[in-house]
Amino acid sequence: MSNHLFDAIRAAASGDAPFIRINGGRTWTYDDALDLSGRIASAIDALGIRPGDRVAVQVEKSAEALILYLACLRSGAVYLPLNTAYTLAELDYFIGDAEPRLVIVSPAARESVRTIAGPHGAIVETLDADGTGSLLDLARDEPGDFVDASCSADDLAAILYTSGTTGRSKGAMLTHGNLLSNATTLRDYWHVTAADRLIHALPLFHTHGLFVATNVTLLAGASMFLLPKFDPDEILSLIPEATLLMGVPTFYVRLLQSPRLDRQAVANMRLFISGSAPLLAETHAEFRKRTGHAILERYGMTETNMNTSNPYDGERIAGTVGFPLPGVTVRVTDPATGAALPPEETGMIEIKGPNVFKGYWRMPEKTAAEFTSDGFFISGDLGKIDRDGYVHIVGRGKDLVISGGYNIYPKEVEGEIDQLEGVAESAVIGVPHPDFGEGVTAIVVCKPDAALDESAILGALRERLARYKQPKRIIFAEDLPRNTMGKVQKNVLRQQYADLYIRT
């Protein structure tokens, strides 16, 4: 029988070559991973899990947790990773919506999760960060030579829930074909081979850490240093042995804070990749100055995997996310009419390709609304394509500020503020304003010991921005709220400052 994605992973598996390296601990070979994934798949099958059944997983990062993902692929189950920060109330929603047959959590959470999973008919098993738990107990005596389930390119491999910042979270249905096509493209585009050694410090419940970092490594027969979390000192200790790092902008900001980061430290590194949130041009420039490496930015979404990438060979331009990947079509349209826009004009980014998801779980009307009549997914991201073909992301459509009838793109204002001496970063939002509809408002984080006040920033912007784009207020904060992937949560800021102009 053919299993579309796992057949490709098996074909690339390098036998007794290393796959997962635990710093200071065990090294798992590809044969080890194949054996354990087979035994876990056998255990899942013995529990009555059949192809198409959902398996919800909320566990800490570990080699066994990653191998559990492979087991689900082999068994034909639909893998449903859940953020480890989700509360019991949030889990109740996801379990009720996805109706998994099996829920896997930490041993400490088992009893409480049973109270919400039981009414939905779900079995609850456990997996701890150290690789122990009831699931591994069940797998211990199972055979490793599991007969993989038959799965076509169109069969579901995973459901990933969106962040839900504009309403209830939606389950993005990703097929075997979506994941294999994208991982194969990225492997080739970034020149990843079996000789590569990736530093993996990303979570396993997100597209970036699970599908980009993991699937690309697997399909190249490469190896990874699997870290439980981002620790700059640990990463700097591993960099001499590694060739590749995939991270979010926060990784690079924190690495730059270490005096250990220099050209000699990264002499063995081949590529640094950043995504999941915008990388400041200042960070890009400083990293290149310190290391000689230009960070490669790319652009993706839960619903589409990766869409664009700066080139491996060629100029990686700060502030852009590069070119559409091979086989992926990206266009920019007028949000009001849907008409295609010429280069340099800002509009809605739409995407078409084998990477684009199948739709939202049990939400056919929402799915239909998010696709155009000619099959493009409406991303919700505003951006432009410049005359050289580089894609620029301006911001989320929901983050667009409309003040006095004018459209203001937050990234443009943030770009000017971030250039000011003493500014570490900023976030620009629109909040209700009695005269303008929305007031342009900037939340600013200053560098240590910076002597800045509201009037200084407003004064500096008067010559840089048209009057309607200038913030009505500057709010200073110690930091900006972020999700687990480092994206600034502007919805949280909008809620926090919703009555700013009403109060004043």
User: What is the distance between the alpha carbons of residues 47 and 65, in angstroms, rounded to a whole number?
Assistant: 18
Q: Look at residue 167 in the predicted model and tell me its pLDDT.
A: 57
Q: Look at residue 165 in the predicted model and tell me its pLDDT.
A: 44
Using one digit for the tens of pLDDT, what is the confidence trace for 101-153? Answer: 999 999 999 999 999 999 999 999 999 999 999 999 999 999 999 999 999 99
Q: Look at residue 74 in the predicted model and tell me its pLDDT.
A: 98
- The residues, ordered by sequence, that sit 6+ positions from 342 with a Cβ below 8 Å of its Cβ are none
Is residue 163 a contact partner of residue 170, using CB atoms and an 8 Å limit?
no
Q: Look at residue 28 in the predicted model and tell me its pLDDT.
A: 98
Where do the domains of the chain lie, and which CATH numbers do they carry? 4-190 (3.40.50.12780), 230-396 (3.40.50.12780), 400-497 (3.30.300.30)
Q: What does pLDDT average to in each consecutive run of 10 residues of the chain (504 residues)? A: 95 95 94 98 98 98 98 98 89 95 98 96 97 97 96 98 70 98 98 98 94 98 97 97 94 94 97 90 94 97 97 96 98 95 96 98 96 96 96 88 84 91 94 86 94 93 89 95 88 93 70
Map residue 280 onto helix, strand or coil: coil
This prediction has a pTM of 0.88
Using one digit for the tens of pLDDT, what is the confidence trace for 250-259? Answer: 899 899 999 9
User: What is the distance between the alpha carbons of residues 379 and 348, in angstroms, rounded to a whole number?
Assistant: 7
Q: Which helix (H) or strand (E) segment is 493 a member of?
A: helix 490-496
Instruction: List b or e across 422-451, with b for residues whose CB sees 16 or more CB atoms inside 10 angstroms.
Output: ebbbbbbbbbebeebebbbbbbbbbeeeee
- The residues, ordered by sequence, that sit 6+ positions from 330 with a Cβ below 8 Å of its Cβ are 307, 308, 324, 349, 350, 351, 385, 391
User: Residue 420 has which token pair?
Assistant: 């000011």
User: Residue 57 has which token pair?
Assistant: 């997983």
Q: Look at residue 456 in the predicted model and tell me its pLDDT.
A: 93
User: What is the distance between the alpha carbons of residues 161 and 92, in angstroms, rounded to a whole number?
Assistant: 14
